[in-house]
Structure 1
Amino acid sequence: MNREEKTTMWLERIESYKSRQGSATDWCEENNISLSTLRYWMTKFSRENKQSSNLNKWLPIEVTSLPKNSQHESNSSGVRIHIGLASIEISSDFDPKTLETVVGILSEKC
């Protein structure tokens, strides 16, 4: 049995376990599977789901132009990013390393 087949088999087994009422011990006895093996596979899939949900996700953005009478210079070509109540302004002469650091910190927090 290859890896993909084994993964599919265990996903089906876990679905079978979750769909019935009763204890894990009872299900394992009925299906001739050790409790530690069931727990191993459930933990494995749980970790994989957490890892895949932690991947970067694209969010929609809205691009608007500033009014000509705004407080910013008209020849500025900066960017302002709003995330909830937070905003980041990036001027046209920004330091890429600083931006990388800020984005890294935000990625860890969000």
Structure 2
Amino acid sequence: MNYNENRQMWMTRVASFRESGMSQSQWCKANEVSLTALRYWLRKLKSSSYSEEETETFEFASLNVPGTCSAKSITLEVGAVKILLYSDFDETLLLKTIKTLQQT
């Protein structure tokens, strides 16, 4: 098995582990995988995903915001950034925003 095939296999395994909700040791026992190997690939794939993301280009987009917003809101602070959330916020967008902020 060449490196790319091995990497692809481990990307699939890591995704399976993350979706399982199991601890690392539980998942390794259930899937007959070495705990050391899983931890190695978790680190390797995490660090390589950062370097791949750094090469992407980002652009700002225009958003049409409705004139009225719901009155109920909370302020979320992530590092030095404050985000004002209304009751009808987009959860997926918030999670992506927080992930991006944590990487910077």
Structure label with greater radius of gyration: 1
Letter in 2 for 1:12: T
- Give me the whole-angstrom Cα distance separating, in 1, the residues matched to 2:59 and 2:21: 39
Higher RCO by CA contacts (8 Å cutoff, separation 6 or greater)? 2
- Give me the whole-angstrom Cα distance separating, in 1, the residues matched to 2:21 and 2:59: 39
Counterpart of 1:46? 46
- Structure 1 unaligned segments of length 5 or more: list them: 61-109
Counterpart of 1:7? 7
- Give me the whole-angstrom Cα distance separating, in 2, the residues matched to 1:10 and 1:3: 10
Count of aligned residue pairs for this structure pair: 61
TM-score where L is the length of structure 2 = 0.51
For residues 19-58 of structure 1, what are the alpha-carbon distances to aligned partners after superposition, in whole Å with 9 as ceiling and x for unaligned?
1122110110111212111011011111111111122625
- Give me the whole-angstrom Cα distance separating, in 2, the residues matched to 1:19 and 1:58: 28
Letter in 2 for 1:25: S
Higher helix residue share: 2
User: Are residues 58 and 15 of structure 1, via their aligned partners in 2, closer, same or farther at CA, if it must alter by over 3 Å?
Assistant: closer
- Give me the whole-angstrom Cα distance separating, in 1, the residues matched to 2:19 and 2:56: 31
TM-score where L is the length of structure 1 = 0.49
Counterpart of 2:78? none
- Give me the whole-angstrom Cα distance separating, in 2, the residues matched to 1:56 and 1:21: 30
Letter in 1 for 2:55: L
User: Are residues 13 and 56 of structure 1, via their aligned partners in 2, closer, same or farther at CA, if it must alter by over 3 Å?
Assistant: closer
User: Are residues 20 and 56 of structure 1, via their aligned partners in 2, closer, same or farther at CA, if it must alter by over 3 Å?
Assistant: closer
